[in-house]
Structure 1
């Protein structure tokens, strides 16, 4: 059969980045629905094609082809419909990395219900907030008694909204057993028609994006969103038809749908899922090499752990391509990984609100630490403090020009919060809130979140460049750079540091780290204040909450 990818793009092969940027287009059909128009097409035309390879720490493994996924998602859709789920209803999926997540997500797409992926680390307060603001009628949970306890406690407060609780992999009073229900239903589910059919403008996904300040925002995506991830998967992650792609992310994060379903399957690649209880670099390497992962995506933090392992023990013969995103890449990690594996790490940038919007594409030679160049169909600009286009080398906010229409994959807005949407989307631009600068070759370089920029003695300093310098020192495991109010300099730079094992806090070490930064980067960027801590404040998704450090310092003063 002809490639499924070719049905949805203007062209699939390109000679250069310029050719790609100018000539790539996504063809969006009317009433596109990923499960009927991709999964079911594979199930009919290539039923044995591998789709999902799953394993866990206990040694259990499951391998599903597209026919399996079509059948299981049909059965799950029947379960949900029997439980009262209808088009437009919101269902929260707290399934970690269990393979049932894919059954449930596809089933919700079949019905036209709104999937609300969520981490298993939510507390009662988090769950109450999401149920109330997202009008969530059903929650489906992995077999974790602590998580189920939190849902039960939350349910007591929001019982009028949260009607149904479904447990996967365990029996519990007051909960529906997923396994019992799925055994009792048919594998036939007809595509809804008429008013129950989905349209391109219907809401597919709702992500509660925690960010680093304020309450979580409801990021809404339409049914056309999966098509936009062709750019993410085929042209940034460089997945191949018949390959096996591994993105490190559990099902609660948007990074999961970036790397474990939509674009990969459209491009013909299976996806790999390792459902681990606790991260261990050696076990991740064992499984990735055992199953023959061909393309790999992880944040720089994961790569920092991987390069500390004895990589000579592993067979990387199947691994063809590696990318990274989620935070800027420290150049020393890039160089070490290249030295060990011979593979260049290709960076990318995007948000829960978008797909990959800047990336080092296959035709682009990477510059370690750079996010790369704009994605096709995305008009990216940098606006300076005056709201004017930034010059080469000048810092500005990354914005997406939407004056001529929204590019595919961009969110519809923040659910039930029009004012919050207007704060970031106005005057023909979506404002990302992230600061960067562009070099003479058109590469973008991350500086930091707008709120995190430090103004000291007339200089503007982004936290990343100082953090990157500090992380090069063997004593530094993690660090966060913030500004501390100062009557003379306006702000001085502060480093909050978690030390690696074998190092102890001391004035001597502080001086050594300060001198290290002065050597690695411009001397005025060195941290005048250093505090050693056992851990950094973070969001549920692992992002450093610099605002919490700043607030603590204000109180301390």
Structure 2
């Protein structure tokens, strides 16, 4: 039956009405030559709401003039890292359309056009830097300009809460890794998004360890073109909290201190790979350590802290909340401030969800890295759970969503993440990469040159390829030939999935990579450990 559902737009309207003068954003203003931050501009919730309405009229008039019907899918191919990007994304929904969100990490226009065709997209809004790539677009294209200074006609906007079925789509995201050369569509329905808003309220509820009167202030985590930041942001604004826009995702400890001092930052939302920058610096910078200790919370997701960083935060009283989530399900499990089992902060499912942890048999490659006395279990989101993703993503035989992520149950209802039992890895910003697809492509295109290979790069910016060669070809010639033969394959993949430089190929003598004892398969994690120093050099890691 048609009904009305909460959306990020209804949340924004409510907060703007209740807290119009509260600061929604702090945006850096940079000195043009040095790129030094001169000041952090404050944008109120009232201004944010007004800007969304303004952008909605801008896009509504433009799309309607092109004859594009309401409820059509409109592609949005932008960075998703700035305040203006948020205005575009929110405004497309407010204007009555369904945004299909592409980040700039997917820079292949052919893949964008294919994904738009799958959703029957009718237009494409693109970042101005990609103007030269969209000339062959099969649908009308429009540059994502800053429309705040543009005059717009006072056209009527659709109802804020349209009467829709819960199964109707409000937004379309994509998997963070490519399958068969392309990401998969992840439609977000109104009913699913309504429940995600409830989860977001809980996940982003201010801790307020210091002062109950001051505003909660957090920092951007990633691109609004991915579900993670979209989810975190809708949770943040429900509490009239402020979001600080960083200058880059891997912002420096100096910038972090500036956010704390000038923006009143009270918590950090960050992927562990980027947080490690500040944890390393805090070992030698007493002021930074003190500021980290004073934060209400450091919220991490996607990956786990290294044992060294875990020990450091525990010994120094730094408040960490660990979150397990996925593109398909948003946040699903959280750690508790005061709950520890030894050195581990276990995860517990978020209340209101319905999950099952199904015993599995792990692959031989991973056995030695896991506890042989405990049963690995895969997290399965039941179809009855309100956060079970779109039916197109569920398994056909049982109707549930199988995450592929494995856990150990340390105590009743308390779990620790233990990776995946497949060939996917997670890069530094928690985006996924199908290593087997890269390996299979190398074996197919370079069968005369490569005897065996393995792709590694967990928690790294991009993957690296280890190769055992055939014959006596020189390592440098082999690297260049592999890049030449696999260039087309990588051109269709996300930037974090690509190997496009010989610098990320390591040639080793035949049969020297660590292998399993019975089947002789190359052990991915063992390669990462054995060649850690060389990998650090490849990625420019400073110790």
TM-score by length of 1: 0.67
Superposed CA offset, 1:32-64 (max 9, x none): 242553222233333223222222654364322
Alignment of structure 1 residues 450-465 onto 2, 5 Å: 450-452=421-423
Quick one: distance in 2 between partners of 1:369 and 1:108?
43
User: When the two structures are aligned, how many residues end up with a matched partner?
Assistant: 430
Aligned to 1:149: 132
Residue 272 of structure 1 and its aligned partner are, at CA, apart by 2.2
Does the 8 A contact of 1:381 with 1:399 survive in 2?
Answer: yes
Quick one: distance in 1 between partners of 2:313 and 2:403?
30
Quick one: distance in 1 between partners of 2:424 and 2:148?
50
Aligned to 1:103: 87
Does the 8 A contact of 2:293 with 2:319 survive in 1?
Answer: no
Superposed CA offset, 1:374-432 (max 9, x none): 11122222212489xxx992012111222xx231x432244xxxxxx35x354253211
Relative to structure 1, the CA distance from residue 312 to residue 318 in structure 2 (aligned partners, 3 Å threshold; closer, same or farther) is same
> Of residues 132, 139, 143 in structure 2, which corresponds to 1:166?
143
Superposed CA offset, 1:277-306 (max 9, x none): 864343244334431121222111012111
Superposed CA offset, 1:358-379 (max 9, x none): 1113464476555501111222
Relative to structure 1, the CA distance from residue 234 to residue 489 in structure 2 (aligned partners, 3 Å threshold; closer, same or farther) is same
Aligned to 1:53: 26
Aligned to 1:253: 226
Does the 8 A contact of 1:90 with 1:135 survive in 2?
Answer: no
Relative to structure 1, the CA distance from residue 291 to residue 229 in structure 2 (aligned partners, 3 Å threshold; closer, same or farther) is farther
Aligned to 2:414: 443
Superposed CA offset, 1:45-104 (max 9, x none): 332232222226543643222221221111111111111252232231413312112222
1:116 is paired with a residue of what secondary structure?
Answer: strand
Does the 8 A contact of 1:92 with 1:118 survive in 2?
Answer: yes
2:521 is paired with a residue of what secondary structure?
Answer: strand
1:491 is paired with a residue of what secondary structure?
Answer: coil
1:184 maps onto 2:152 in alignment: yes
Relative to structure 1, the CA distance from residue 347 to residue 234 in structure 2 (aligned partners, 3 Å threshold; closer, same or farther) is same
Does the 8 A contact of 1:299 with 1:327 survive in 2?
Answer: yes
Relative to structure 1, the CA distance from residue 212 to residue 453 in structure 2 (aligned partners, 3 Å threshold; closer, same or farther) is closer
Does the 8 A contact of 1:245 with 1:272 survive in 2?
Answer: yes
Quick one: distance in 1 between partners of 2:346 and 2:232?
18
Does the 8 A contact of 2:3 with 2:163 survive in 1?
Answer: no
Quick one: distance in 1 between partners of 2:54 and 2:461?
47
Relative to structure 1, the CA distance from residue 367 to residue 270 in structure 2 (aligned partners, 3 Å threshold; closer, same or farther) is farther
Aligned to 1:553: none
TM-score by length of 2: 0.68
2:280 is paired with a residue of what secondary structure?
Answer: coil
> Of residues 471, 491, 504 in structure 1, which corresponds to 2:521?
491
Does the 8 A contact of 1:395 with 1:435 survive in 2?
Answer: yes
Aligned to 1:329: 305
Alignment of structure 1 residues 214-229 onto 2, 5 Å: 214=180, 215-229=182-196
Residue 327 of structure 1 and its aligned partner are, at CA, apart by 1.3
Quick one: distance in 2 between partners of 1:99 and 1:354?
25
Alignment of structure 1 residues 24-63 onto 2, 5 Å: 30-55=3-28, 57=30, 58=35, 59=37, 61-63=40-42
Residue 534 of structure 1 and its aligned partner are, at CA, apart by 5.8
Relative to structure 1, the CA distance from residue 285 to residue 244 in structure 2 (aligned partners, 3 Å threshold; closer, same or farther) is same
Q: Structure 2: 5+ residue runs without aligned partners?
A: 208-213, 363-371, 426-434, 436-456, 467-512
Aligned to 2:58: 79
> Of residues 335, 340, 344 in structure 1, which corresponds to 2:319?
344
Does the 8 A contact of 2:228 with 2:330 survive in 1?
Answer: no
Quick one: distance in 2 between partners of 1:276 and 1:479?
21
Does the 8 A contact of 2:29 with 2:41 survive in 1?
Answer: no
Aligned to 2:236: 264
Relative to structure 1, the CA distance from residue 374 to residue 322 in structure 2 (aligned partners, 3 Å threshold; closer, same or farther) is same
Quick one: distance in 1 between partners of 2:314 and 2:118?
45
Aligned to 2:330: 355
Residue 480 of structure 1 and its aligned partner are, at CA, apart by 8.4
1:334 is paired with a residue of what secondary structure?
Answer: helix
1:65 maps onto 2:44 in alignment: yes
1:433 maps onto 2:404 in alignment: yes
Does the 8 A contact of 1:203 with 1:220 survive in 2?
Answer: yes
Quick one: distance in 1 between partners of 2:73 and 2:179?
28
Does the 8 A contact of 2:516 with 2:523 survive in 1?
Answer: no
Quick one: distance in 1 between partners of 2:244 and 2:461?
29
Aligned to 1:394: 375
Residue 493 of structure 1 and its aligned partner are, at CA, apart by 2.3
Does the 8 A contact of 1:38 with 1:266 survive in 2?
Answer: yes
2:24 is paired with a residue of what secondary structure?
Answer: strand
Quick one: distance in 1 between partners of 2:356 and 2:314?
31
1:127 maps onto 2:112 in alignment: yes
1:448 is paired with a residue of what secondary structure?
Answer: strand
Does the 8 A contact of 1:496 with 1:532 survive in 2?
Answer: no
1:293 maps onto 2:265 in alignment: yes
Alignment RMSD: 4.0
Aligned to 2:390: 412
Residue 207 of structure 1 and its aligned partner are, at CA, apart by 1.0
Relative to structure 1, the CA distance from residue 279 to residue 242 in structure 2 (aligned partners, 3 Å threshold; closer, same or farther) is closer
Quick one: distance in 1 between partners of 2:268 and 2:254?
16
Quick one: distance in 1 between partners of 2:177 and 2:236?
26
